[in-house]
Amino acid sequence: MTTRNRQWRLEGGFGLDHLRLIDAPMPVPGPGQVRIRVEALSLNYRDLLITQGQYDPRMALPRVPLSDAAGVVDAIGPDVTRLRVGDRVSPIFAPTWHGGEPPADVLAHALGHRADGVAAAFIVMPAVDVVRTPARLDAAAAATLPCAGVTAWHALMTGPGAVRPGDTVVVQGTGGVSLFALQLARLAGARVIATSGDDAKLERALALGAAYGINYRTTPQWSKAVRAFTDGRGADHVVEVGGAGTLGESLAAVRPCGRISVIGVLSGRQGPLDVTAILMRNVTLQGIFVGSRADFEDLARAIDVGGLAPVVDRTFDFAELPAALAHLASGRHFGKIVLRKDDP
Ligand SMILES: NC(=O)c1ccc[n+]([C@@H]2O[C@H](COP(=O)([O-])OP(=O)(O)OC[C@H]3O[C@@H](n4cnc5c(N)ncnc54)[C@H](OP(=O)(O)O)[C@@H]3O)[C@@H](O)[C@H]2O)c1
């Protein structure tokens, strides 16, 4: 049994050149905890913001980055009954949030920000903050779920405005959250309109099941195309990952009494907002912060039964984290970027 634990750390400052691969001591699970041998990790846009110091410039360093992993339980501490050695699992994005409303201090536990993340060969987690991965997914596919998959599930499949068969859903861009939203909406019997800044990616979104694609660079007022495609009605749901720069178009694209899930900040955090369109048309703006363990377990069941296959753009080796983040920063990806950890 190896006694070293290869671990990424962001230390000494922000930026890709402050990521260091070090040898840490092997963690030992205490009461109620399990140790996971990590097999695969996935990247989220948040990881890029965190590494560059744009997510939280006051974040304490050093910090083990990344929130999303899949692996196998290789040791358990005393008093663990939920899991056994050999179980295939993933940590949840926000430990302590198991269902319902999040605990008031949930941000203190979110992995890779105020709490150490999962970019290591071995990690120790409370057993209650771990879920079994879908049986039909390999580790690389399972590692894509904890943030992007759960966020898309929470946005579209929960609460009073959840997607129903026959609905029309707009997804923005072809990143991790948006492609999960596309696939989940299709699983639920909805019709999907995808936007992208790249026509070749739109072709791939159509091949994944989107009914219509709009290039937001050549058609900046894409809400008009959404309204035309829906015979003037507008979309039932918009998965809003653009943020300040896209919310105006989302409000113009959504139908009266429709729902916008406010998720991302790809085009900025702040900007002018005319609230008239929200109130006059009874639009629901729903803020989404990933989701709970219950959301993750519901997603895993839906994947096993429905057969959804996460879209993996490219796989890097564990030691190539900076290159993988640079690929994310390039915006060339379609779906999720994965790191594989083949040998401890
Ligand atoms: N609130 C939460 O809990 C939560 C959870 C996960 C993610 N997020 C946020 O959601 C956003 C997406 O995250 P992600 O991990 O899915 O990102 P990602 O995989 O890196 O995807 C980014 C993609 O979005 C598209 N895009 C970029 N600028 C755009 C714009 N102005 N309008 C429309 N699309 C645009 C691009 O696709 P094309 O090349 O096809 O145009 C780009 O490839 C980020 O802001 C992230 O921080 C929030």
**Ligand 1 in reach of 216 Cβ (< 6 A):** yes
Question: Which of 54, 158, 266 for a ligand 1 pocket mutation test, highest count of atoms within 8 Å of Cβ?
Answer: 266
* CA neighbor of 169 nearest in space, from 200, 144, 195: 195
Residue 148 has pLDDT above 90, yes or no: yes
Query: In this structure, are 24 and 114 located in the same domain?
Result: yes
Mean per-residue pLDDT over the chain, rounded:
97
Residue 1 has pLDDT above 90, yes or no: no
CA 264–ligand 1 middle distance (angstroms): 6
For residue 134, the enclosing domain spans 4-144+310-340
- Distance between alpha carbon 89 and the CA centroid of its chain, in Å? 17
Question: Which of 177, 183, 247, 265 for a ligand 1 pocket mutation test, highest count of atoms within 8 Å of Cβ?
Answer: 177
Using pLDDT thresholds of 50, 70 and 90, give the confidence band for residue 165. very high
Q: Dihedral angle at the C-alpha atoms of 103, 286, 113, 49, nearest 10 degrees? A: 180
In tens, the pLDDT along 95-141 reads 999 999 999 999 999 999 999 999 999 999 999 999 999 999 999 99
Beta strand residue intervals within 84-230, DSSP E = 88-91, 122-126, 130-132, 168-172, 191-196, 212-215
Rounded Cα gap, residues 83 and 296, in angstroms: 16
Q: Whose CA is nearest to atom 35 of ligand 1?
A: 173
* Ligand 1 atom nearest residue 154's Cα: 3
Residue 344 has pLDDT above 60, yes or no: no
* Residue in the structure block whose two tokens are 């304490």: 60
Query: Would you call 3 exposed, middle or buried from its count of C-beta atoms within 10 A (0-12, 13-18, 19+)?
Result: exposed
**Ligand 1 in reach of 197 Cβ (< 6 A):** yes
Residue 207 has pLDDT above 60, yes or no: yes
Rounded Cα gap, residues 85 and 335, in angstroms: 31
**Ligand 1 in reach of 265 Cβ (< 6 A):** yes
Query: In this structure, are 16 and 111 located in the same domain?
Result: yes
Q: What contacts 280, CB < 8 A, 6 or more positions away? A: none
Query: In this structure, are 93 and 133 located in the same domain?
Result: yes
Residue type, 187: L
In tens, the pLDDT along 288-318 reads 999 999 999 999 999 999 999 999 999 999 9
Share of the chain above pLDDT 70, in %: 99
Query: In this structure, are 162 and 263 located in the same domain?
Result: yes
Question: Residue 332 to residues 17, 175, 300: CA-CA distances in angstroms?
Answer: 21, 10, 28
* Ligand 1 atom nearest residue 197's Cα: 41
Residue 226 has pLDDT above 80, yes or no: yes
**Ligand 1 in reach of 46 Cβ (< 6 A):** yes
Query: In this structure, are 84 and 21 located in the same domain?
Result: yes
- DSSP-derived letter for residue 233 is S
CATH code at position 121: 3.90.180.10
Where among 244, 272, 287 does a domain terminate?
Answer: 287
Is there a domain that residue 166 lies in?
yes
**Ligand 1 in reach of 44 Cβ (< 6 A):** yes
Query: In this structure, are 236 and 129 located in the same domain?
Result: no
Is there a domain that residue 18 lies in?
yes
Query: In this structure, are 15 and 82 located in the same domain?
Result: yes
Number of domains present in the structure of the chain? 2
Query: In this structure, are 221 and 173 located in the same domain?
Result: yes
CA terminus-to-terminus distance, the chain: 10
Within the chain, residue ranges assigned H as helices are 45-51, 139-142, 150-157, 176-187, 199-207, 222-229, 247-253, 276-280, 293-306, 321-330
Q: What is the pLDDT of residue 232?
A: 98
Structure tokens at 45: 């846009």
CA 250–ligand 1 middle distance (angstroms): 15
Query: In this structure, are 315 and 238 located in the same domain?
Result: no
**Ligand 1 in reach of 175 Cβ (< 6 A):** yes
**Ligand 1 in reach of 170 Cβ (< 6 A):** no
Is there a domain that residue 196 lies in?
yes
**Ligand 1 in reach of 328 Cβ (< 6 A):** yes
CATH code at position 242: 3.40.50.720
CA 287–ligand 1 middle distance (angstroms): 15
**Ligand 1 in reach of 172 Cβ (< 6 A):** yes
Using pLDDT thresholds of 50, 70 and 90, give the confidence band for residue 53. very high
Assess contact for 43 and 12: CB atoms under 8 A.
Answer: no
